[in-house]
Amino acid sequence: MSRGQYPSTRMRRNRMTAFSRRLVAETRLDTADLIWPLFVIEGQNMAEPIDAMPGVFRYSIDQLLQQAAKAVELTIPAIAIFPSIDAALKDASGSLARDGDNLVCRAVSAVKAAFPDLGIICDVALDPFTAHGHDGLLDGDEILNDETITVLCEQAVHQANAGCDIIAPSDMMDGRVGEIRAALDASGHHNVQIMAYAAKYASGFYGPFRDAVRAGASLGKAGKLTYQMDPANSDEAMHEIALDLAEGADMVIVKPGMPYLDILARAKAEFGVPCIAYQVSGEYSMLCASFEKGWLDRERTILEATTCFKRAGADAVLTYFAPEIAMMIRR
114 vs 219 by CB, closer to ligand PBG: 219
CA dist., res. 261 & res. 66, Å (int): 33
The smaller minimum CB distance to ligand PBG, of residues 123 and 154, is found at: 123
Nearer to ligand PBG, 17 or 225 (CB): 225
Using rule CB under 6 A, residue 281 touches ligand PBG: yes
Interatomic CA distance for residues 67 and 59, integer angstroms: 9
User: According to the binding rule CB under 6 A, does residue 211 interact with ligand PBG?
Assistant: no
- 257 or 313, CB closer to ligand PBG? 257
The answer to whether the CB of 171 falls within 8 A of the CB of 136 is: yes
Min separation Cβ 49 and ligand PBG, Å: 16
- From the list 92-100, 122-130, 185-193, 236-244, the region that binds ligand PBG by CB under 6 A is 122-130
- C-alpha span between 314 and 101 (Å, rounded): 34
Which candidate, 284, 270, 288, places its Cα nearest to that of 317? 284
CB 176 to ligand PBG: min, Å: 12
Q: Which uninterrupted H or E stretch holds 318?
A: strand 316-318
Query: Which residues between 219 and 238 bind ligand PBG (CB under 6 A)?
Result: 224
Determine, following the binding rule CB under 6 A, whether residue 240 of this chain makes contact with ligand PBG.
Answer: no
* Cis bond upstream, residue 256 (ω within 30): yes
Q: How far is the CB of 45 from ligand PBG (least distance, A)?
A: 25
Query: Does 127 participate in binding ligand PBG (rule CB under 6 A)?
Result: yes
DSSP 8-state code for residue 46? -
Choose the binding region for ligand PBG from 62-70, 86-94, 208-216, 287-295 (rule: CB under 6 A): 208-216
Whole-number Å distance between alpha carbons of 142 and 222: 10
User: 153-170 burial by CB neighbour count: b if 16+ within 10 A, else e?
Assistant: bbbbbbbbbbbbbbbbbb
Contact assessment for residue 312 and residue 258, using Cβ atoms and an 8 Å cutoff: no
Q: Where are the beta strands (DSSP E) in 98-141?
A: 119-124, 137-139
Q: Select from 177, 280, 302, 329 the one that contacts ligand PBG (CB under 6 A).
A: 280
Interface of this chain with ligand PBG, residues 151 to 170, rule: CB under 6 A: 170
In the complex, the smallest distance separating the C-beta of residue 153 from ligand PBG, rounded to whole angstroms, is 16
**How many residues bind ligand PBG, per CB under 6 A?**
12
Q: What kind and span of H or E run contains 20?
A: helix 18-24
- Applying CB under 6 A, among 33, 123, 244, 324 the residue interacting with ligand PBG is 123
Shortest Cβ 216–ligand PBG spacing (Å): 6
Site map 292..311 versus ligand PBG, x via CB under 6 A: --------------------
Q: Where are the alpha helices (DSSP H) in 91-212?
A: 103-114, 145-162, 176-186, 207-212
Q: Kindly state whether residue 179 participates in binding ligand PBG, applying the rule CB under 6 A.
A: no
Pair 71, 36: CB distance under 8 Å: yes
Stretch binding ligand PBG (CB under 6 A), from 28-36, 123-131, 150-158, 269-277? 123-131
Q: Per CB under 6 A, does 135 bind ligand PBG?
A: yes
Q: Is 201 in the site for ligand PBG (CB under 6 A)?
A: no
- CB atoms under 10 Å from CB of 67, counted, come to 20
Interface with ligand PBG by CB under 6 A: which residues? 123, 125, 127, 135, 170, 206, 209-210, 216, 224, 280-281
